[in-house]
Structure 1
Amino acid sequence: MLILTTAVTAGALTLSACGSRDNDAGAGNGEDKKTTVTIGLDAPLTGDLSALGQGIKNSAHLAITNANKTKEVPGITFELTPLDDQAQPTSGQQNATKLAGDKKVLGIVGPLNSSVAQSMQQVAQANNVALISPANTTPDLTQGKDWKQNNRKRQFTTYFRTATTDEVQGAFGGQYAYEQIKAKTVYVIDDQKTYGTGLAAAFSAKFTSLGGKVTGTEHVNPEDRDFKAIVSKVKSANPDLVFYGGEYPAAAPLSQQLKDGGVKVPLMGGDGMYSADYITLNKKSADDYATSVGKPVEQLDSAKKFIADYKAAGYKDRYEAYGGSTYDATWAIIQAVKATVAANGGKLPDNARAKIVEALNKVTFDGVTGPVSFDQYGDTTNTMITAYQVDSAAWKARHSAEYKR
């Protein structure tokens, strides 16, 4: 039903990997001493994508706070070490190296960007530390570059994600555009980054397979904010819809300039566009579309406690698109620690990192976003996608569906 593209590269530094604990006291041995386990986090905490990054950080912090409050793992206290990658692969690799070098770090949540993940995966693998993203969607990260030929091979045994892939999202968008929006022609633009090009390719492949026509394509720099030249090309092509593979800092001015320039059709994008900041930055956002992984947490009974706890915690930033999947990613590491401790007589083993990676492959629980588990590639088994539209200055869910490969 659905398809996509992208490319993967990875380079990294290696460090010695080991288990970690504060002291020699085991959990559950009757002593008051507790073992501290650190969960690292990598996300864009500053810069253009900080709205998403702060939501990721806060949601991970909430999961750890709740685990400590309820003593989810007896004898274990969790702490969070968040690092800022500013959506830059080099910074992500440096952060992964720093976190992997800390023996107390038994898992890392993040990153946001697929291109950043490519720079972190080998570091995590070399140090046998679990890396679990709530937001990466490029299929290559888990299944390799030949997944499009159905030659799928797991790339890194330490890498997992709670967000479904662009094989699902891009094709879902293409089908929704053709069947629900009723667009027959589309102009496709991407930002030349791993995520954006892959998403646009998946969208185009599905859209054309259904009978739609791509009337033009264009590539932009993700730092660009002046799109006058593109506006002229799109207007001449006269499409029913414009699709943008990229993120909201560029998507917002692109949409506004298109409409100011006389292109009176919606802009559609993926989860990188699905942010409240897209609406804040774009006075002409009304009727635009975006897809995002999962169902809206506000519609899930499983997310009611998360939403209430997040509000009660008083975080100044919204949980945004990846709040629920981040909580679940963090909770997956916590559950893997729990299983590892339980299997080792109530204390962390010396090879805790390796055991936690093993445990993640078997983790299953009812999470914020629904049932959480991972397949043979490290991908989430939850393949729900939702289409949203800007209505009355807010994103409104229009359609959700689950995709099975």
Structure 2
Amino acid sequence: MKKTPLKLLALAMGLVSLSCQAQERVRIGFMSPVTGPQAGYGIDNRDGAALAIKELNAKGVKVGGKTVQFELDVNDDVADPRQGVQVAQALVDKKIKFVLGPYNSGVTMPASRVFANGGVIVLTVASNPRITTQGHSNLFRIGATDNQLGAKMAVYAAQDLKVKTVAVIDDRTAYGQGVAQEFTAQANKLGIKVVAKEFTNDKATDFSSILTAVKAAKPDAVFYGGYSAQGGPMLRQMRGLGITAPLLGGDGICSAETATLSQVSSDMNVYCTQGGALIDRSAKGKQFLDKYKAEFKRDPLTYAASFYDGAHLLANAMEATQSTDPAKVGAHLAKSSFAGVAGEYAYDEKHDLKSSAVTVFTFKGKDVVPLKSL
């Protein structure tokens, strides 16, 4: 019998209904500083995650017979702990059960308690070792710790740069203090003498007083625990005072932003560490770099690859468990391994990475270039 237009419409509506029933929306929260002095890092993180979400939706991840449609819920914590707690609570209130971020250790510490109470799976690059000693079973680190970043910088300083004396400055944030402490501890073990200890804050612009004290100590190198927003201007003021010693740091200054803000046109003489092996040495790494640049018309900075991996890590766990239940996804993450762009994701009992390579970088012009993995 010939179908009437009304019957055809009903049939079409039924097909649409079936199609909708065969899809499941999974929102993944994102938090990082996407405005303010550290916006460059936050935007980089956001775009790494967004690229992964685009790929996953194009691929069509299926869980429980349904195609999962991923959405990235982007939130700006401006690198501020108070704002971070508010963002975390807002994500919990929206019933979001998976979060990529935060970026900063100082934000992650208080926000992680909110997420723990809300049963949210958190994948963070925040590096302070204390973050994973709080006993939050829902939190996983997807980057190196300060122990690795700071200690490996000390190893490179001693073995490759032949540094004998060093001045240490930190910005009094959880990250800055943590990475500076780990650098200092390893430097002491390696026989590097700390001849000056100074501190600033993550809003400072004038470092003349502390740099005058550093200059008087005549160190072979200066280690700065902090971010590019202060690291760049600090380098400019160092050179203005005639301090020619190399500036060392962790991943917080491993960005082209350091070069831009320093306004140093000659050899910057800066070395920094970043979690992960040399990304452009692997096929996966090269593919990621090419895709990122094609999508955003620029090179990635520090942790775009880690946030990209984090989204794929979550999707892989959902596929493996055939569930979007955060408890099941978290249990899988804790006992499994996943080969990503930035490295291997396999966890110890604290949910730190069992193994995380660290790469030392330097600057050529405004480009951050890798030297060696440790």
Tell me the SS of whatever aligns to 2:362.
strand
Q: What SS does the aligned partner of 2:137 have?
A: coil
Q: Deviations over 1:93-143 (max 9, x none)?
A: 11111111222x23000011001001111111111110101x211111113
Q: Please tell me whether the aligned partners of residues 51 and 318 of structure 1 are also in contact (alpha carbons under 8 angstroms).
A: no
Q: Aligned equivalents of 1:396 and 1:91: distance in 2?
A: 33
2:97–2:119 Cα contact (<8 Å) kept: no
AA at the equivalent of 1:384: A
Distance in 1 of aligned mates of 2:246 and 2:142 = 29
Contact 2:138/2:330 (CA < 8 Å) preserved in 1? Answer: yes
Does the aligned pair in 2 maintain the 1:287–1:391 contact within 8 Å?
no
Q: Tell me, in whole angstroms, the C-alpha distance in 2 between the residues paired with 1:95 and 1:30.
A: 33
Give the drift of 1:363.
3.7
Q: Could you tell me which residue of structure 2 aligns to residue 12 of structure 1?
A: none
Range 84-93 or range 391-400, more displaced: 391-400
Whether 1:113 aligns to 2:86 is no
Aligned with residue 62 of structure 1, among 51, 72, 79: 51
Kept in 1, the 8 Å contact 2:170–2:226? The answer is yes
Alignment of 1:43-62 (within 5 A): 43-62=32-51
Q: Which residue of 2 aligns with 1:377?
A: 350
Residue type of the alignment partner of 1:102: K
- The aligned residue for residue 215 of structure 1 is 195
Q: Tell me if 1:244 matches 2:217.
A: no
Q: Percent identity?
A: 33
Q: Structure 1 residue 310 and structure 2 residue 299: aligned?
A: no
Question: 1:391: Cα distance to partner?
Answer: 2.4
- C-alpha deviations, 1:259-281, integer Å up to 9, x for none? 11011111111000001111111
**Aligned-partner Cα distance in 1 for 2:310–2:299:** 18
- SS at 2:212 equivalent: helix
Partner Cα distance (1:231, 1:370) in 2: 37
How many Å apart are 1:337 and its aligned residue?
A: 2.1
1:93-108 residue pairs with structure 2 within 5 A?
93-103=85-95, 105-108=96-99
Q: Which runs of 5+ in 2 are unaligned?
A: 1-17
Does structure 1 residue 332 correspond to structure 2 residue 313?
A: yes
Is the contact made by 2:259 and 2:365 (CA closer than 8 Å) also made in structure 1?
Answer: no
* Of 258, 262, 270, the match for 1:288: 270
Mapped pair 1:142 → 2:132 = yes
**Alpha-carbon deviations, 1:141-191, whole Å to 9, x = none?**
1135xxxxxxxxxx2101101101111111111111111111100011010
Match of 1:166 in 2: 146
Partner Cα distance (1:130, 1:252) in 2: 34
2:123 matched residue in structure 1: 132
In 1: Cα distance, 2:287 partner to 2:242 partner = 45
Residue 371 of structure 2 corresponds to residue 388 of structure 1: no
The normalised TM-score by structure 2 is 0.90
Q: Which whole-Å CA distance do the structure 1 matches of 2:140 and 2:68 have between them?
A: 23
Q: 1:244-299 deviations in whole A, cap 9, x for unaligned?
A: 01111001111110111011111111000001111111123611111111123222
Q: Is structure 2 residue 65 aligned with structure 1 residue 92? A: no
CA-CA distance at 1:338 after TM superposition: 1.9
Q: Which has the higher contact order (CA 8 A, sep 6+)?
A: 1
CA contact under 8 A between 2:141 and 2:352: conserved in structure 1? Answer: yes
Q: What are the Cα deviations for residues 215-240 of structure 1, in whole angstroms up to 9, with x where unaligned?
A: 11101121111111122111111110
Residue 183 of structure 2 corresponds to residue 203 of structure 1? yes
Q: Is the 8 A contact 1:54 1:317 kept in 2?
A: no
CA distance in 2, matches of 1:184, 1:217: 15
Residue 273 of structure 1 is matched in structure 2 by 253
> Are the counterparts in 1 of residues 164 and 220 from structure 2 also a CA contact under 8 Å?
yes
CA root-mean-square deviation: 1.7
Q: Which structure has the greater CA radius of gyration?
A: 2
* Structure 1 residue 323 corresponds to structure 2 residue 315: no
Instruction: Give the deviation of 1:317 after TM superposition.
Output: 5.6
What TM-score do you get using the length of structure 1 for normalisation? 0.83
Greater share of helix residues, 1 or 2? 2
2:171–2:177 CA contact under 8 A, matched in 1: yes
Mapped partners of 1:55, 1:317: distance in 2? 10
> Contact 1:88 / 1:116 at 8 angstroms: preserved in 2?
yes
Look up the match of 1:189. Answer: 169
Report the secondary structure of 1:181's partner residue: coil
Quote the offset at 1:33 in angstroms: 3.4
